[in-house]
Structure formats: structure tokens, C-alpha cells
Chain A
Amino acid sequence: MNKLLIGTALCLAAMSPAMTPAVVAQEVSACLITKTDTNPFFVKMKEGAEAKAAELGITLKSFAGRIDGDHETQVAAIETCIADGASGILLTASDTSAIVQSVQQARDAGLLVIALDTPLNPIDAADATFATDNFKAGELIGKWAAGKLGAEAANARIALLNLGISQPTVDVLRNQGFLQGFGIDLADPNKWGDETDPRIVGHDVTAGNEEGGREAMENLLVKDPTINVVHTINEPSAAGAYEALKSFGRENDVLIVSVDGGCPGVANVKDGVIGATSQQYPLQMAALGVEAIKNWADNGTKPEPTPGKDFFDTGVSLVTDEPVDGVESIDTAEGEALCWG
């Protein structure tokens, strides 16, 4: 028995010199660190990870920041996981650049670090990234909106309701994807707000919630009341934008598109509040992440990215009840079966 333990220890040590002794224990353990534990997206992610961990016999410990942007708590969580001797960490980073140093510490200590949903900056700071292709998510709703308008797309009046002024990666990808899909020149694809197409009325920020969505929509409607296409960063901000349109008496002649695929969002597509939304799959991300950690602990293999991309694409589908030619989509019944939150 002793020999076996020593053998395992030597084997693991050879694999990664700085590994902490606690990993020697038979049991494989993993950490899930999310931005918050209140957002339904992360709640679903946690569910997926827990179910998969139970299935594979892995101990899963979950950590979360207090609010989106709570960087310090995430750093402390990574340190805890290293000290705890976990085999790997699944991380949705609040601060994608600042967290890199702590991630490096964890990797130096022999842990597999997988970024879920949010790529780190740079993306190769993590061993692997399991995420939605947010640019494609944006592109799908952009193409759908253009297809829906038909020839009128040339005269569209577009409002873009984004996440925040710091322009987080996901915000830029969805926004620029949408514009690309709609057929608008992006200028610099790494930022939003630098496009010169006259069809764009303006960009505003929503903090990704109903309140912000309503205020941003009001601001842009005052700027130009003829807006007829609205891109929203997520479904809560879309619901807020709809309230604003309603107060302006415009709820029936404006096209709202969004990204996420949460259950209230899909219900809003069904009710015609949102025209189409790109659905992502957090449960899938987490389950794949847990499997990857299991593989790493068992035989030291790292997950490979999707061919042609620098991350593993966990898929995205367009949910709408008014399909448009040339854009693949699923209807709301199917979307409801797959929705989260």
C-alpha cells in the first residue's frame, strides 16, 4: 500500500514538479469559481457541474464572487483550491486580465485551469476555455434581423444596448457579431462605438438588467424616435427596453434581438417581446469542464480546442418563432426545453 502511494506520488510529481502533496490522496476534487452565485446562468452552471461531479465520483467545491466584478473573492478562492489540493479549477473570471497571475500560480501548482464562459486575457492563460462563441451568437441575431427586415434593412435605425462602458469581451463580441451579421462595417472589431454607418443611432449601456435596459432605450429614443431595430446584450435588458418602447407607444413596430436563452427570455420570444435570441448552454460548459478535470487527474490529458478556434465551442442556437431563410433556428418550444434559469 505504501509503495503504491509512493508510486502514485512519484508519478504525479513527475507530471508536474510543483504539485502539492494533498493531491496524492485517491479522491479527485475540483473547484468551480463563478462570478456570482445569484445569476441564474451561474446557478445552472453549478447544477451542471454538481450533477457531472456526482456521476464521476468527484468532490466539487463551489465558490463565487459577491457581485459581478468581485475580483478579490475569486483570487482568495483560487488560493483556497491550491491549498486544498484540487486537481483542477473551472473559472468564470470577473476580471479577465487581473486574475491571470493567480491562475498561473494554480497551474504552477499542477492544477488544470479551465475558463468557462468568459475567456481570460490572454486566452491562453488558462489551459482551456469552454465557452459560447459570442461573436457567432451576435452574428446569428444580426443575420436574423437583416433577413426579417428584407429590403428595409438598408434604411434600418439601429440602437445597441450594451453591457458596460468598460466594454468587457463578451459585450464587444456580441455587439460586433450583431453588426457583422446585419451587414455593417465594424471598423475596429475589438471595440464597439467606432462604426460610422449612418444606420446606427447610438450605443448605450445597461449593466445587463431591466432598469438599465429601460433607461438606455429611453435615452436613445429621445435621440432618435425612429429607431426600429434594437440589439440587447441579454434578455433582462431586452425586457427593460421593451418597457421603454411601450411607454413611447412603439412596442409593436420595433425589432428586439438578444442573447442568452434563459427561460424568461425564451418566454419573451414566445410572447413576441423579443424577436429572436441566441441561446447558450451553461450546463454543457460545466459538465464538459468537470469531465476534462477528471481526465487530467486520471491520465494527464488536456482538452483540445474546437478546430479553427482558440477555445472549445459549447454551441449556440437561434431561438425564434419567425424563422428567416438562410438562418438556422429552433422554435420556442425547443428553446424552452433547453433553457436555463
Chain B
Amino acid sequence: MSNQTEADGGLVARADAVASFEHQHTILSRIQHALHSNPALVPLIVLVLSIAVFGALLGTKFFSSFALTLILQQVAIVGIVGAAQSLVILTAGIDLSVGAIMVLSSVIMGQFTFRLGLPPAVAVACGLAIGTFIGFVNGWLVARIKLPPFIVTLGMWQIALASNFLYSGNETIRAQDIEASAPLLQFFGQSITVGGAVFTYGVIFFILLVLVLAYVLRHTAWGRHVYAVGDDPEAAELSGVNTKRILMSVYALSGLICAFAGWALIGRIGSVSPTSGQFSNIESITAVVIGGISLFGGRGSILGMFFGALIVGVFSLGLRLLGADAQWTYLLIGVLIIGAVAVDQWIRKVSA
């Protein structure tokens, strides 16, 4: 019976407080929490700091609305491709074929106009459709055939790039010819000027695309499902998300966005050149990673990618204006990539 008494004694001595976790509200853990709930915060801080530092070092040459909007123009193509890449990476995938889809789409827009004589609007529509189709094939292979995204898009990268060279015969369509007979192809190259700031339609499209995707990802069922699939596909499946359909829609949308990037590319360089965009896949992954989107999927924000792309642009132009060897840009971007992933790992510990 003494056992019973002891147990009663234990009951009397029990804690009255409701069960709770212990929080240590150190400054560091607060920062960790803030970063965890706002994944775009780190790249934003880095961006603001780098603009401030280069602005202080270079003065008005760098810190002018003209130079700053020029950076936007320089990163717009990689940024648009980066938006496509972000979607795929959020599902814990990776898309190595983004650049190849972009170039192939731009070549199709150009060659359909100049070789087949289609009206530019139809040619552009064909380019967009083919980009979407290639993306859809990627998604189908990943979702239905269950092939790893890395392998699928590695293969598709080669296929799209080879098709691009085979179909175009590596023939460049000159800017002057496009301007004369199919100015629609250069649509994204037009610009509006506000004060010293120059916004090309390509830049405006890039910004709108990021804002729309940020809204869709955060506030629509489809967007939440993209995160869910990336975070834990089994759990998502069990809670009634059609993961296959989500994956296929993500890859198809990624293809469509890459095709738009191809259209914007024609506006940027004036001509249709089958050799451009060779490194877009790596550059877009760089922007995504520096932007704090987790390569393990399910975490990060597309605004982060936007800041990530801008950080690369700010460093490139800033260092060049300082007269530094271009190698320094690559070196610093390498440091940023590793730094970004290290910060990402640290933030992840908040939930552990």
C-alpha cells in the first residue's frame, strides 16, 4: 500500500502549469526564427548591404537609377529562368534543361518566322507551346515514370540543345533583319524611361512574373501543394494532394516560363543566336541557391531568388566598375553560394 501513498504524494506534488516548451529568447534564436519564417530576408539583407558598399565605393557612377536599372536588365533573363528553376526546386527537383529550352524556344520563334514565313505572333505562340511541351515531358517522366529529375533534365538538356543546333544549323538571325520584318520578336527589348531609370519590357515582365508567382505560391491551393510536394510527397499524397498532377504542372509551367525567357532573350540581344544561354542552368541555380531556396525542396521563397539574381548582378557590375579582374566576381559568387547554403542549414535547426 505504501506504493499507493507514494503515488498520491506524487500527484499532490505535480506541476500545475500547462505543459510548454522551453524558449530561450536569445537574440540569436530570435534572428533564427525571423529568418525561418521569412526566407527571403537573408538575400535581401545581403543585397542592400552590397548596394550600400558598392555605392559608397563608387559614388553616383554606381548609385544612380540608371546603373541600378541596368543591373535589372542584365539579370532579367537569368532571373526569368530562375523563376522557372525555383518552382522545380521547391518540389525537391532540379531542372538542368532550362537554358536549353529557352534557346530552343527563341530559335523556333525566329526560324518559324524567317524560314517558314509564319506571322511573328504565330511563331511566338509556337515557341511558347514547344517550351511548355518539353517541360511537360520532363514532368511526365518525373511524375509518371518516376525517374529522378536530375537524370530526366540532364537528358532533356542534351536533347533540346542538340535539336537547337540541328534545327538552326547554328545560323544567327541578325537584329537588323528582325527589326525590319518581325519587330514583335523584339517586344521585350522595348523600354520605358522614368527619369534616369530604364525599364525594358523584359525587366517589367521579370518583376511581374516574380510578384505573381510569389502570390500564387503563398495564397493559392496549387501553390501550397507545390510546397507540400517538395516538403514530404508521401504526406502530401496522404492528405489528398494529387502529387503527380502537381509535379507535371510545375515542370510544364517551368517550360513555359523558359520559353518566355527565350522571347525576352531576343529582345535583349536583338538577334536570334543559337549559341546564347549556354550557362543559364547553372546561373539560374546560383540565383536560386543564393536566394535561400532549399535544394531539398519545400522551403524558400521566389522573392529570395529575385534578390539572389540581383546580388549576382550587383557584384558583377560593381566589381567591374572597381576595375577588378572578372575572376573576382566568380570567386565571390562561389563564396556567396557556400555561405547561403551554410545559413540555410543553420536556419533549418530552428525546427529541430
Question: What are the residues of chain A within 8 A of B176 when measuring CB–CB?
Answer: 267-268, 271, 273
Q: Which residue of B lies closest to A273 (CB)?
A: B176
Task: Check: B275 CB closer than 8 A to any chain A CB.
Answer: yes
Is the CB–CB distance between A236 and B275 below 8 Å? yes
- Please give, as numbers and ranges, the residues of chain A lying within 8 Å of B320 by CB-CB distance: 204, 219, 223
Least CB distance from A37 to B in Å reads 8
B55 at interface (Cβ–Cβ under 8 A)? no
A222 at the interface (CB under 8 A from B): yes
Q: Establish whether residues A247 and B198, one from each chain, have CB atoms under 8 Å apart when the complex forms.
A: yes
Q: Identify B273's interface contact among A67, A165, A209, A246, CB under 8 A.
A: A209
- Sorting the interface of chain B by its residue count into under 10, 10 to 19, 20 to 34 or 35 or more gives 35 or more
Residue in contact with A218 in the complex, picked from B74, B270, B274, CB distance below 8 Å: B74
Main secondary structure of the interface of A (DSSP, over half): helix
Least CB distance from B321 to A in Å reads 6
- Contact at B327–A165, with CB atoms within 8 Å? yes
| Residue contact B268 to A38, C-beta cutoff 8 Å | no
The CA-CA distance from A242 to B74 in the complex, in Å, is: 15
**Is B117 interfacial (CB-CB < 8 Å)?**
no
Interface size on A, residues (CB 8 A): 31
A38's partner among B265, B269, B275, B327 (CB-CB below 8 A) is: B275
Q: Within 8 Å of chain B (Cβ to Cβ): is A186?
A: no
A214 close to B268 (CB less than 8 A): yes
B277 close to chain A: CB less than 8 A: yes
Interfacial residues of chain B within 252-305, with CB under 8 A of chain A in the complex? 265, 268-271, 273-278
| Contacting pair A38 B326 (CB below 8 A) | no
Residue among B66, B169, B176, B325 with max Cβ neighbours from chain A (10 Å): B176
Q: Which residue of A lies closest to B280 (CB)?
A: A211
Output the residue of B172, B191, B200 with the most chain A CB within 10 A: B172
Point out the residue from B67, B270, B278 that lies within 8 Å of A239, measured CB to CB: B270
- Contacts of B269 on A, CB cut-off 8 Å? 210-211, 214, 239-240, 243
Given contacts A210-B269, A219-B321, A222-B70, 13 further A-B contacts (CB under 8 A): A38-B275, A202-B323, A210-B172, A211-B277, A218-B73, A222-B61, A222-B62, A223-B61, A239-B270, A246-B270, A247-B198, A264-B172, A267-B176
A-B pairs with beta carbons under 8 Å apart, 13 shown: A210-B273, A211-B265, A211-B269, A211-B273, A214-B268, A222-B61, A222-B67, A222-B317, A236-B273, A236-B275, A239-B174, A240-B270, A247-B191
B residues near A (Cβ < 8 Å) are 61-62, 66-67, 70, 73-74, 77, 165, 169-172, 174-176, 189, 191, 198, 200, 265, 268-271, 273-278, 316-317, 320-321, 323, 325-327
- List A residues at the B interface (Cβ < 8 Å): 38-40, 43, 67, 165, 202, 204-205, 209-211, 214-215, 218-219, 222-223, 236, 239-240, 242-243, 246-247, 264, 267-268, 271, 273, 341
